[in-house]
Amino acid sequence: MNLQEIPTIANSEELIDRALRRASKVEESVRNADYRARLTAVRKIHSVADNIANPLHSYVKAFPSFDSIHPFDRAIIDLTVGVDRLRKSLGAADWARKEVLMIGNKYVPKARARKSAETTMKIMSEAYTKMTNVVRQINKQLEFLISARSVFRNLPNVSTEKPLAVFAGAPNVGKSSLIGAISSGKPEVKSYPFTTKGVSLGHIKAKYNTLQVMDTPGLLDRPDSDRNDMEKQGIAALDYLNPIIVFLTDLSESSGYSIKTQTSLHQELKGRYSNYLWIDVYSKSDLEAKETLDYPDPVPVSVMDGKGIDILKDKLINLAKF
C-alpha cells in the first residue's frame, strides 16, 4: 500500500452515523412482537458493531507497517506527523475496534434472551450507547489519522528503483525555480524569507527513461542537531536515497547568503556524501558574480534567460544510471 493512497478516513460522528443508519434499515417480519424485537435487536447490534469495526480495521491496515517501510519514508513520516503519535493513534483505533466487537458479543446474548419487547429495546439501546461512546473516545486520534492521511497524500512518491537527483543548497539560491524550469515539477517559488516547506518531486523525460528530480528546502550551514524539520527532510533524502547531488551556489549573493556561507555548506555536504555523484551549479548566472570559485566542471545556469538549463539536463541524463 502506498503512503500517498490511503483511502478516506471517517471521524467518530461520521462513523457512528453511518453505522446507525445501516442498522436502522434492519427489519424482521416475525408476527410475535416480543420475538420480533429480540431478532431485530440481535441483528442491529451485530450490524452496528460490524459497521464500526470493519472501517476501523481498514484504517489500521491502510497505514504501512513501520518496520517494513523504506527508511526515507519512515524519516519523512517522523518529520511530518511523527511516527510515535501515528503509532499511538493507530493503536487507539485498533483498541476501539476490539472494544466495540466485545460489547457487541456481550449484548447479543442479552438481547436474545426471552423477555418483553420493551426490555429488549432497552438492552439494545444500552449496547448502542456503549459502542458509540467507545468510538467517540477516539475522535482525537481519528482526526489525527485524517490529517496524517492528507499530509501523506502530498508527499513525493519517490521510486527507489529509478534514478534520482536531489537539488540542494542554501535557501533562496534558486533550487525551486530551476526544478520548475528543468522538469515537470511545479515546486512553490516563494519570496525571501519563506523557504520551500518540504521535499517535492519532478521528472525529466529522457529518451527511454525518466529521471526523478527532488526539490529540497534550503539548508543552513549548521549541524544537523540545529536543523529544523524542513531541512531534515532534505537531509533524509540525501542520507537514504543515494541520489545524484545537484548543489546550487548563487554567486550573485542575491539570495542573502554569502559565498563563504555557501562554500562552507558545500564542504560539509561534500565531506558527508563523498561517494555520491555530484554536479555543481552556479545559479542566477544572469546576475553579476560577486566572486569566482574553482569548483571542477561547474554548470552556470539562469532560469531568467534559460542559459545552461539544457546543458544541465544532458549532464544529469548522462550521469543517471538507468
Ligand X SMILES: Nc1nc2c(ncn2[C@@H]2O[C@H](COP(=O)(O)OP(=O)(O)OP(=O)(O)O)[C@@H](O)[C@H]2O)c(=O)[nH]1
Q: Interface with ligand X by CB under 6 A: which residues?
A: 171-177, 189-191, 195-196, 217-218, 283-284, 286-287, 302-304
Q: Strand runs (DSSP E) across the chain, as ranges?
A: 164-169, 200-205, 210-215, 244-250, 278-283, 299-300
Q: What is the gyration radius of the CA atoms in the chain, in angstroms?
A: 28
Collapsing DSSP to helix, strand or coil, 80 comes out as helix
Of 141 and 176, which has the nearer Cβ to Mg ion? 176
Which residue matches cell numbers 531534515? 232
For the bound state, the minimum distance from the C-beta of residue 203 to ligand X, rounded and expressed in Å, comes to: 18
- The CB-of-234 to Mg ion minimum distance in angstroms stands at 10
Measured from the CB atom, the residue of 89 and 172 that comes closer to ligand X is: 172
Q: Which does 212 bind (CB under 5 to 8 A by kind): Mg ion, ligand X, none?
A: none
d(C-alpha 102, C-alpha 91), whole Å: 17
Cα(first)–Cα(last) distance of the chain, in Å? 25
50 binds, among Mg ion, ligand X, none (CB under 5 to 8 A by kind): none
- Find the shortest distance in angstroms from Cβ 5 to ligand X: 27
Nearer to ligand X, 229 or 286 (CB): 286
Nearer to Mg ion, 100 or 182 (CB): 182
Residues that bind Mg ion (CB under 5 A): 175-176, 196
Angle of helix 309-319 relative to helix 175-182, nearest 10 degrees, comes to 80
Which of residues 126 and 286 has its CB atom nearest to ligand X in the complex?
286
* Binding partner of residue 46 among Mg ion, ligand X, none, CB cut-off 5 to 8 Å per kind: none
Burial of 37 (0-12, 13-18, 19+ CB in 10 A): buried
Provide the minimum distance between the beta carbon of 191 and Mg ion in the complex, in angstroms, as a whole number.
11
